[in-house]
Structures are given as structure tokens and as C-alpha cells.
Amino acid sequence: MELPEKDATEIVTTNEIAQIVGVSARTVQRWCHSGELPAKRVGYNFAIVWSDFVSFWQARSEIKK
């Protein structure tokens, strides 16, 4: 899966990531809660640095191969 080009320091939300990779926002939240996906808690939401997500997704894609 080809990820969209974004600035490495851009902050994205669980909803944005869910739409990009085709999973539910709850799945992305679980990744954050478990620590698999680095994120900062902002109220009831998570703030995720784009480069952290890309690293997470690449590692996850390698595992599935």
C-alpha cells in the first residue's frame, strides 16, 4: 500500500490514519493504547506524528510478508 506524501512532522489523528489504511478508528486507538504506534494523548484523542506512523506501518507490512 502506498502512503500519501506528508511532512514527516505533521500530526495526524486516529481517524485520518484509519481512512488511509482502511481500518476502523478503534483499531488505530488500540495500536496507540498498546504502545505499538507511538502517540500522545490529547484529551480523548491521540496525536500521531506522521513519521512515527510510517515507521509503524512499514514494520507491520514487513511482518505480514
> What is the reported pTM?
0.89
Q: Is 21 exposed, middle or buried (0-12, 13-18, 19+ CB in 10 A)?
A: middle
Cα separation, 44 vs 1, whole angstroms: 29
Query: May I ask the CATH class of domain 11-64?
Result: mainly alpha
**Beta-carbon contacts of residue 9 (< 8 Å; ≥ 6 apart):** 49, 50, 51
Q: What is the pLDDT of residues 14-65, one digit of tens each?
A: 999 999 999 999 999 999 999 999 999 999 999 999 999 999 999 988 776 5
> What was the pLDDT predicted at 2?
83
